[in-house]
Structure 1
Amino acid sequence: MLNIRKYALGPVQTNCYIIANAARECLIIDPGEEGEFLIREIRKANLKPQAIVLTHAHFDHIGAVDDLRDAFHIPVYMHKKEKEWLGNPGLNGSGKYAQLPDYSIRPADAFLEAEKATTIGSFQFDVVHTPGHSPGSISLIFEQDGFAVVGDTLFKRSVGRTDLIGGDSKLLLKSIHDHLLSLDEETVIYPGHDEPTTVGEEIDQNPFLNGF
């Protein structure tokens, strides 16, 4: 059974998830900010990070990547469609806001293949390409454990914004319908912001998905 820790971090309270197994190995998903805090939390829990996985490369999901990879000497995984975004404030969105510094992160170490079962360390999950919020958005499906980490694709009673670079509202809804609503209705959805939900709740109650 996997243990999931959720931390809402940074100026827009982006969810970082730390997923740990019984051996205390862990994956760090979307460390958006507050790197020193996350490092302390991981060490306090005696966890052994295996990798950082990014659901997409917007600034609020990547801010602490270099702090964590340097502290734990671990690789960073993402979708190749956004490989140029980490170091480019014009693409990752930080350049859009005068009150923010320009976020420039070193390149990813490896790229995840979508529609394929993936193993990182002892963790096994499916990677599905769910573009629409951004071109390289992915969702991580832990089917045996009954949950999915979906970045900013689907939220509780809402969906991801599509007014940023590469956003596409029709493609977003198609991604949600094809890859997320098709999961078991009891599957817990862990989004990039706000609280978890389930597939069944969103089928029944999400006003943006009424057409499905």
Structure 2
Amino acid sequence: MIFATLPTGPLEVNCYIIGCEKTMKAAVIDPGGNADRILQRLSALKLQTVMIINTHGHFDHIGGNGDLLKATGAELIIHRDDSILLERAGEHAAAFGLRAEPSPAPTRLLNGDETLQLGELTLQVIHTPGHSPGGVCLYVDDYLFVGDTLFAGSIGRTDLPGGHHQLLIAGIKEKLLPLPENTKVYPGHGPMTTIGEEKLHNPFLS
């Protein structure tokens, strides 16, 4: 698997690029902004973007959707329970004293717990509501992209509209922690971690 990461947007969201080595088809996960930089990295890697996937609909994770869609013609994919957030990006950003443009409408809606095929890579979609109603994680090989569900030593905040603390904790414990302990966890902000590390040391999961 081809893999790259770069911080994007005003809140420095971790944007992840994953690509199939055989077909050179790529997915961009959580383009928070700076679409020009994302496109430059894709070009350098010689990848064809066929999917843009938002782990959830908060403004800081979707800022690059529009420009990437125009440049690539890729599918825009999000869970159906967060799709309405794409058009409300400005309201959400204003709560943080920032500005954001609405995202284009998604072209594919997820139900949760299905799979996405990216060339020879299979991405398992794991619905983990709690930070937002339609939050999802993406599991491929031993990589787990968790958006704002889980962080190194912490969890996503649940005090925003649609948040639910008990749902978030239950989803992490029931759906993520059973994965192999060497699974590499890539969050929406901050450093990567592993499932084993969070099992042992995350104070919110003890």
2:136 corresponds in structure 1 to: 138
Is 1:70 aligned to residue 70 of structure 2? yes
Structure 1 position 120, deviation (Å) = 4.1
Structure 1 position 95, deviation (Å) = 2.6
Deviation string, structure 1 residues 139-177 (Cα, Å, up to 9, x no partner): 1111xx211111000010110011111111111100100
Structure 1 residues 122 and 112 mapped into 2: Cα distance closer, same or farther (>3 Å)? farther
1:123 corresponds in structure 2 to: 121
Matched residues in 1 for 2:19 and 2:161: separation?
A: 33
- For residue 58 of structure 1, what is the amino acid of its counterpart? H
Structure 1 position 123, deviation (Å) = 3.0
Over aligned residues, Cα RMSD in angstroms? 1.4
Is 1:105 aligned to residue 103 of structure 2? yes
1:158 corresponds in structure 2 to: 154
Q: Is residue 50–residue 121 contact of structure 1 (8 Å, CA) maintained in 2?
A: no
Map residues 28-107 of structure 1 onto 2, 5 A cutoff: 28-89=28-89, 93-98=92-97, 100-107=98-105
Deviation string, structure 1 residues 30-67 (Cα, Å, up to 9, x no partner): 00010111112211221111110110010110000011
Structure 1 position 4, deviation (Å) = 1.5
- For residue 152 of structure 2, what is the amino acid of its counterpart? K
Deviation string, structure 1 residues 119-146 (Cα, Å, up to 9, x no partner): 244431211110000000001111xx21
Is 1:186 aligned to residue 182 of structure 2? yes
Mind listing any 5+ residue stretches in structure 2 that lack a counterpart? none
Q: Is residue 116–residue 123 contact of structure 2 (8 Å, CA) maintained in 1?
A: yes
TM-score, with length taken from structure 1? 0.92
Is 1:26 aligned to residue 22 of structure 2? no
Structure 1 position 75, deviation (Å) = 1.0
Q: Is residue 31–residue 63 contact of structure 2 (8 Å, CA) maintained in 1?
A: yes
TM-score, with length taken from structure 2? 0.95
Structure 1 position 9, deviation (Å) = 1.4
Percent identity for Structure 1 against Structure 2 = 37
Matched residues in 2 for 1:167 and 1:175: separation?
A: 13
Structure 1 position 8, deviation (Å) = 1.1
Mind listing any 5+ residue stretches in structure 1 that lack a counterpart? none
Structure 1 residues 209 and 4 mapped into 2: Cα distance closer, same or farther (>3 Å)? same
Matched residues in 2 for 1:104 and 1:123: separation?
A: 30
Q: Is residue 90–residue 99 contact of structure 2 (8 Å, CA) maintained in 1?
A: no
- For residue 113 of structure 2, what is the amino acid of its counterpart? E
2:191 corresponds in structure 1 to: 195
- For residue 109 of structure 1, what is the amino acid of its counterpart? T
Matched residues in 1 for 2:147 and 2:198: separation?
A: 16
Structure 1 position 76, deviation (Å) = 0.3
2:8 corresponds in structure 1 to: 9
Q: Is residue 3–residue 21 contact of structure 1 (8 Å, CA) maintained in 2?
A: yes
Matched residues in 2 for 1:41 and 1:89: separation?
A: 25
Structure 1 residues 193 and 182 mapped into 2: Cα distance closer, same or farther (>3 Å)? same
Matched residues in 1 for 2:81 and 2:38: separation?
A: 27
- For residue 160 of structure 1, what is the amino acid of its counterpart? G
Matched residues in 1 for 2:115 and 2:52: separation?
A: 17
Structure 1 position 11, deviation (Å) = 1.9
